[in-house]
Amino acid sequence: MTEKVSLSYKGKTYEYSTITGSENEEAFDISCLRRETGLITMDYGYQNTGSTKSSITYVNGEQGILRYRGYSIEDLAEKATFPETAWLLIYGELPTEEELTVFRRLLTENSLVHANLLHFFREVPPSAHPMGILSSVVNALGLFAPKYYDAETDASELELMITALISKIRTIAAFSYKASIGEPFVYPEANRSYCANFLNMMFSSHTKPYVVNPIMEKVLNTLLIIHADHEQNCSTSTVRMVGSSQANLYASVCAGICALWGPLHGGANQAVLETLIRVQKSGMTIKEVLEKAKSKEDPFKLSGFGHRVYKSYDPRAKILKGLMEKLFNEEDSQDPLIDIARELEHQALQDDYFIERKLYPNVDFYSGILYRAMGIPTNMLTVMFAIGRLPGWIAHWKEMHNDPQSKINRPRQIYTGPSQKKWIDRNLRG
């Protein structure tokens, strides 16, 4: 029997049916609440509000579980490739060999951006933040698309548009880096994997030979898989919010990139590295960093710690920490930031403030150190997150479009401004 939730208000009782997910998560459906009671709900930051049903990603924050379409993040991170994972998220199943071959070919064939767009990279100031460049160029890609996605676009056109976007985002990221350091663009090469192609476009140059390190290629592959989706997070909800008005895919993804940029979300990876560098350079102690993070007078937060959903160790952080330890043993290289990060984690996890609030390292705590080992500059870390998250955004945008229950997203509010005022003629000029 389906459970009901009852609500008593002004002497009347109302009943609401419950919805149970495939992992026994429960909600109650209040879609007729206002019509029946005149009430709306208030939930700052949507801490308890479900915006949709979704079959893409499952997160269990208490037990530290993350699965894409049923597959554990641990298996995917170790055994899958990023293009395979992108396909899985977007189309619901792992690709067959034939599907993957076609997907790879289309990724290669659609990797270039329109030549007219190259002017943009050259004209923006070198100090421009790469997330601003990425969001602008992704939106501009739509201007060059023969047709925006709309209800009439057939499935194969949409598939091509999706593949082209996944391919071009890494070209845009690499070109923005080359433009910022004043070097000529390095074009994608057909015989390289998704990750090797990106590393080559970033670091190869006419004056310095560059050979893609297969270990770094594998690390990048894992990082992108780990970023690929995380259910209704801030940027994905933004993509769904914008897409709910039937805005096109490019505009919706552009909005998602902008939402990811903030330091409470994807921008935290840049903030983590900046904190570690600050400790290294200024001689600030770990204790001082933690005191600053705990102080209610100081807006500083310990980036890379805490999560809305995870109240245990973020499984993505666990994988990345293991990868970091392995990489720095295998490669016999060192980064002084690692010891600082390890000590920061150690002290935070023993501190009552962090214990009481269940604040653990999140995905952004160790990702920056791994990207740094590849040579990715600090201000591009969130761009890397965006490249990885793109398939997730697309999967959610597509799921929303295909869901007959979806509606334009339009929350309500409780108005707290002045009541109606009488207009008094003031006879002012201008």
Q: Which of 293, 369, 370, 374 binds ligand CMC (CB under 6 A)?
A: 293
- What tokens does 208 get? 């310095």
Contact characters 44-63, ligand CMC, x per CB under 6 A: -x------------------
- The CB-nearest residue to ligand CMC is 306
CA–chain centroid gap for 296, Å, is 28
Q: Which of 108, 139, 233, 367 binds ligand CMC (CB under 6 A)?
A: 233
Q: Which of 107, 166, 224, 302 binds ligand CMC (CB under 6 A)?
A: 302
Choosing from 307, 314, 351, 396, the catalytic residue is 307
Q: Indicate if 206 belongs to the active site.
A: no
Least distance between ligand CMC and beta carbon 303 (Å): 5
Q: How far is CA 118 from CA 113, 121, 136, 380, in A?
A: 8, 5, 13, 19
Output 240 or 307, the one with its CB closest to ligand CMC: 307
Long-range contacts of 69-77 (CB under 8 A, 24+ apart): 69/93, 73/225, 73/226, 73/315, 73/316, 73/319, 74/315, 74/319, 76/225, 77/222, 77/225, 77/226, 77/319
Q: Name the segment binding ligand CMC (CB under 6 A); options: 94-102, 190-198, 331-339, 358-366.
A: 358-366
The backbone torsions φ and ψ at residue 292, rounded to the nearest 5 degrees and listed phi first, read -65, -45
Q: Which of 54, 180, 303, 367 binds ligand CMC (CB under 6 A)?
A: 303
Output 199 or 363, the one with its CB closest to ligand CMC: 363
Amino acid letter at 124? V
Q: Indicate if 364 belongs to the active site.
A: yes
- Which DSSP string do the residues of 296-356 spell out, in sequence order? SS-----TTB--SS-SS--HHHHHHHHHHHHHHHHS----HHHHHHHHHHHHHHTSHHHHH
Least distance between ligand CMC and beta carbon 388 (Å): 11
- Residue 307 interacts with ligand CMC (CB under 6 A)? yes
User: What is the rounded CA–CA span in Å between residue 224 and residue 387?
Assistant: 7
Nearest to 364 by CA among 301, 418, 289, 411: 301
- Residue 268 interacts with ligand CMC (CB under 6 A)? yes
Q: Judged by CB under 6 A, how many residues of this single chain contact ligand CMC?
A: 21
- Residue 192 interacts with ligand CMC (CB under 6 A)? no
Output 39 or 355, the one with its CB closest to ligand CMC: 355
Q: What size, in residues, is the chain?
A: 430
Q: Please give the residue ranges that form the binding site for ligand CMC (CB under 6 A).
A: 45, 230, 233, 264-266, 268, 293, 301-308, 357, 359, 362-364
Catalytic residue IDs: 307, 364
